[in-house]
């Protein structure tokens, strides 16, 4: 499977997330020791194997969430692309909604475009009605 | 001031942070509406003006922190580069230490290399002796 552009990889990544599809998730990632993933509040995971282990744990015993991604910003070079996205994530019953900011890095290799890095923040919003992002702490 | 490579921009970025140097901070950022910054736990800031306003607030009434950056991973294309870094941040008196994971995106333009995006997570470690990253929440 060779994705023709970063947008195709991104769509497949969020589809795999939505469907708790481990095989689909594996296909979107760069098969590389340089792949990296930072889940919300989590440590740095490096390499495809460690990253896939984390998705295995996340997908286990979970109902498929509602996940919608909104592309906020895209920058692309010939072999590297950066997307800033808002992930709108709801629990299966819709009771809890969260907006998660993520930076997704795509790389072009012999396998076409793949996901090289995913860095997601903790949710800005945890209720279903309010939107009150916290003040920056840096 | 034209930085010759992403590493030079990164060094200048953390020097400006360490020295609470607003003018220095302005010089490292891409002068663009497409620039973006996510401080730990914070919302998405877009455009140089909004980003610089945030640094103004962060630098105000603060003692210079100890900030050391460790490059974990670098990927570069001709006009776009991605660095994953660990920021080791201590308060001025060294009493509180934090390790912050950040993704820094650099872009090459007519001004040389500049910082296009900075995405930092909330600290993994808040004590001075222990290292116990929390479990992933995604």
What is this structure's pTM?
A: 0.88
Whether residues B44 and A135 touch (CB distance < 8 A) is answered with no
Residues of chain A with pLDDT under 70: 125-138
Kindly tell me if the per-residue pLDDT of B18 is higher than 70. Answer: yes
Kindly tell me if the per-residue pLDDT of B8 is higher than 50. Answer: yes
Pairwise CA distance, residues B108 & B77, whole Å = 10
What is the ipTM metric for this complex? 0.87
Whether residues B133 and A38 touch (CB distance < 8 A) is answered with no
Quick check: B47 contacting A, CB < 8 Å? Answer: no
pLDDT at A41: 93
Kindly tell me if the per-residue pLDDT of B137 is higher than 80. Answer: no
Of the candidate ranges A28-42, A79-93, B51-65, B124-138, the one whose mean pLDDT is the lowest: B124-138
Q: Give the chain A residue whose CA is nearest to the CA of B76.
A: A80
Mean pLDDT of B74-83: 97
Kindly tell me if the per-residue pLDDT of B63 is higher than 70. Answer: yes
**Which of A14, A17, A34, A43 to mutate against chain B (most B CBs within 10 Å)?**
A43
pLDDT at A133: 47
Q: At A30, phi and psi to the nearest 5?
A: -60, 130
Residue B26's CB: how many other CB atoms inside 10 A?
14
pLDDT at B110: 87
Whether residues B75 and A105 touch (CB distance < 8 A) is answered with yes
DSSP state of B22: H
Mean pLDDT of B5-22: 97
Whether residues A77 and B73 touch (CB distance < 8 A) is answered with no
pLDDT at A8: 97
Tokens 């992403």 belong to residue: B6
pLDDT at B129: 44
Kindly tell me if the per-residue pLDDT of B134 is higher than 70. Answer: no
> What is the least distance, in Å, from the CA of A113 to any CA of chain B?
14
Pairwise CA distance, residues A44 & B101, whole Å = 7
Confidence label for B80 from pLDDT (cuts 50, 70 and 90) = very high
Cβ pairs bridging A and B (under 8 Å):
142
């Amino acid at each position: 499977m060779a994705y023709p552009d970063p947008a195709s990889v991104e769509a497949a990544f969020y589809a795999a997330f939505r469907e708790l599809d481990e095989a689909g998730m594996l296909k979107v990632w760069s098969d590389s020791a340089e792949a990296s993933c930072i889940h919300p509040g989590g440590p740095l995971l490096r390499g495809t194997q460690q990253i896939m282990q984390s998705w295995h744990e996340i997908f286990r015993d979970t109902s498929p969430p509602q996940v919608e991604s909104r592309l906020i910003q895209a920058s692309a070079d010939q072999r590297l692309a950066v997307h800033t996205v808002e992930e709108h994530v709801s629990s299966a019953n819709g009771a809890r909604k969260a907006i998660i900011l993520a930076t997704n890095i795509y790389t072009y290799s012999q396998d076409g475009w793949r996901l090289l890095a995913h860095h997601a923040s903790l949710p800005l919003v945890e209720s279903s009605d309010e939107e009150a992002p916290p003040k920056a702490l840096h």
